[in-house]
Structure 1
Amino acid sequence: MTDLDQVFTDLVRFQIDLWNGVDADLREAADTSLASIESLRVIAARDVCRVNDIADDLRITVGGASKIADRLERAGLVERRANPVDRRSSLVALTREGRATLDRAAPVYEAALARRLGDRLDGATLDHLARALRLLRTEPTREDSE
């Protein structure tokens, strides 16, 4: 029988190590953070999005997403404008500098993931891990489905 506590510990510790390693590579080689890149990727995927979209995609609070958007705006990586549909919210879009930051970071990000995941697991194992993680993220728990 699999020790679920050990699975949890291994998963969380690996996620922390993975995040910290990719973040360190991005800071050193692309002068940006993984938190910024993850947020910019969410915005780029939607072209224009709400702070709530960032929060939902990154699984963080709206307050946390708002702080990230504020930091990105101060850095000139995104711009905010009024949401014509909902005056209580604003829309966030990449600036040219935001797009350039994503472009500059992409090879560093990809190499960091390859080194920490792709080079350590064979293709079949990596595919199995990807399927298992996707299932865990998308399948409701018993409590969610009741």
Structure 2
Amino acid sequence: MSNHVEALPGFFADLVRCETRLYNALNDRLRERHGIVTSQFEALRYLRDHPGSRVADLAAEFAIGIGATSKSVDRLEKQGWAARQPNPSDRRSSLLALTDNGSQLVEAAEKTVAEALTELIGNALDSSSVSAAAQALSQLRSALERNQIGTPTG
């Protein structure tokens, strides 16, 4: 077995543990400063950057099921951060939009996230390491998405 293949289980373990720790740290920071968690921030940011998205679009982007995504959108609506609007081209679906409160929240939270990522990643890795890791993860993500690996069925 080549060193490349032998290194993959350790790479996977490190990748998952780093993701979990970063996600948890962002959750704590966002909850403390803005009353939201990372998944809510990610959904709000996606809706800001992709106006007129549907629940299915969010589900595809984050590789989560439609039911879980719809419940997440319900919670965003209940908080007054997002709204469903009728889809003029398909009565069976709704288009999602940020409310003014949602837009203000995501803008403020984005500053918190940038600050936290600088602290958590930028202070641990130099710019060339960040660039190399970003490139590697982008390639891996593209391959997984292109081959629809890990896409939920429901």
TM-score range, shorter chain: over 0.9
Task: Return structure 1 stretches of 4+ with deviation > 6 angstroms.
Answer: none
Identity value in percent: 36
Structure 2 residue ranges without an equivalent (≥5): 149-154
Judged with a 3 Å threshold, the aligned counterparts in structure 2 of structure 1 residues 140 and 23 are, in CA distance, closer, same or farther, namely closer
TM-score (norm 1): 0.92
1:83 to 87, 103, 110: 87
TM-score (norm 2): 0.88
Q: Distance in 2 between matches of 1:138 and 1:118?
A: 24
Offset at 1:115? 1.1
2:20 to 16, 21, 29: 16
Offset at 1:3? 2.4
Please tell me the root mean square deviation across aligned C-alpha atoms, in Å. 1.5
Structure 1 residue ranges without an equivalent (≥5): none
Aligned to 1:62: 66
Task: State which drifts further: 129-138 or 111-120.
Answer: 111-120
1:120 to 120, 124, 137: 124
Offset at 1:108? 0.8
Offset at 1:140? 5.2
CA offsets per residue over residues 73-108 of structure 1, 9 Å max, x none?
Answer: 000000111111111111110000000111221211
Q: State how many pairs are aligned.
A: 143
